[in-house]
Amino acid sequence: MSESTQETSRGWIGWVQIGGILAVILVAIVITMVLSGGGDEQSAEPPADARVPVEVVRPDVAPHRITVTATGTVEAKALVSITPQVGGQVREVSDAVREGGRFAAGEVLFRIDPRDYEVAVQRAQANLADARSALAEIEAEADIAQEEWRATFPGRDITALAAREPQLEAARSRVMSAEADLNQARIDLDRTTLSFSFDGRVVASQIETGQVVSPGQAYGQVYSIGELEVVVPVPPEDAARLGEAEGRPVQIRLEGHDRPIAGEVLREGAQLDARSRLINLFVAPEEPDALRPGLFADVVIDGPELSRVLALRGTALSGLDQVHVVRGDEIESLRVEVLDRRDRTVFVEPFDYGEGVIVTPLPEGAIGRQARILTDTDEPAAARESGDE
């Protein structure tokens, strides 16, 4: 092929390439115009609603009683040891002196052989009789000495020595000592029977018939049924919400018992527990017979009555004390005073909530924007919560 032919072929190919490039540019221009025309049509549509959709409630002002719910443990105020005050052989043991046994106030739990103590009483009675006889003899001698003094020294006061006053004082002292010995012997005789001044139950016992017991040694433990109480640890803020806790009515529900037991708060602990940072409330039940030391108990303590509160669903609260409201169609954030919490309901001091309290989550940056209310209700939040459940 000649050089002129090759040059002609290359020129033709170049023009074809240029034409292809122009065609691509033309197609791109057409597509851009089409898209631009569609955008104009879309921009002609009304803009989307920029308001924040929210759900609100309009709670009513109503009275409310503060309550504190907690879990406690049944405890005896004290475990009393079974400790005889005199020694000897045990002659009789009551059937109540077994673990778990019940006994009445004044019931004899066991008897120690009393014969040694009966002899001691008789000996003390004899010593007292002897001391009284000696005193009577000295008193007679003193009377004779006074008559002789008056006959010998008329008009003069008798001296103490001549009147036998030292001997009289010594004799009187011996009588008093003998009386004390007799009383002690009778007390020791009474102590051969052991009983308590309260209705109680036996925790443990090592007393058996025939056993020789020693004075001052413990042979078991008992507790007073009437002194059982429920120890309820609560946070200090809950104790503060109750105000004066003493005398507050309480409902006690024991594990394994269907029926609650009424009671009242006896007293409040003097200090917080070093580990748990809780304070103990001591509750006295009206039916202590149903209690056993070690049982767990759920308690509801009635606090003061609040005449005016707003009840809000828990979802209305943001953080500890903040709510969001719609006021003048705008979303605002407010701080409220929380008075009580129960389940998923929060009770707060009444405040101006405008068109309603928002109970749905808000997107970031919603404060100050316009709100679009989806749902509102005039029901108290507590009622709505219970209805939802």
Mean model confidence pLDDT for the chain: 86
User: What is the reported pLDDT for 333?
Assistant: 92
**Local confidence band at 357 (pLDDT 50, 70, 90 cut-offs):** very high
Which residue has better confidence, 201 or 241? 201
Mean pLDDT of 375-383: 51
Class of the CATH-defined domain 83-113+192-218: mainly beta
Structure tokens at 34: 């089409």
Q: Which amino acid is at 313?
A: R
**CA angle at residue 321 from 316 to 322, to 5 degrees?**
55
Domain ranges in the chain are: 54-64+306-388, 68-77+227-304, 83-113+192-218, 120-186
User: What is the reported pLDDT for 383?
Assistant: 42
pLDDT tens readout for residues 94-143: 999 999 999 999 999 999 999 999 999 999 999 999 999 999 999 999 89
Q: What is the CATH number of domain 54-64+306-388?
A: 2.40.420
Q: What is the CATH number of domain 68-77+227-304?
A: 2.40.30.170
What SS3 string covers 286-350? CCHHHCCCCCEEEEEEEEEEEEEEEEEEHHHEECCCEEEEEECCEEEEEECCEEEEECCEEEECC
pLDDT tens readout for residues 196-236: 999 999 999 999 999 999 999 999 999 999 999 999 999 99
Distance CA 248, CA 239 (A): 11
pTM value is 0.66
**Residue 348: exposure state from Cβ atoms within 10 A (0-12, 13-18, ≥19):** buried
For the chain, helix (H) and strand (E) counts, in that order, are: 5, 22
pLDDT tens readout for residues 268-312: 999 999 999 999 999 999 989 889 999 999 999 999 998 899 998
Alpha-helical (H) ranges within the chain are: 3-43, 115-152, 165-190, 236-242, 381-388
Q: Do domains 68-77+227-304 and 83-113+192-218 have the same CATH topology?
A: no
**Local confidence band at 4 (pLDDT 50, 70, 90 cut-offs):** low
Mean pLDDT of 136-165: 88
- Three-state SS for 147? helix
Distance CA 224, CA 288 (A): 10
Best CA proximity match to 117, nearest among 79, 87, 162: 87
Best CA proximity match to 172, nearest among 146, 134, 143: 134
User: What is the reported pLDDT for 156?
Assistant: 87
**Local confidence band at 82 (pLDDT 50, 70, 90 cut-offs):** very high
Question: Does position 93 have pLDDT exceeding 90, yes or no?
Answer: yes
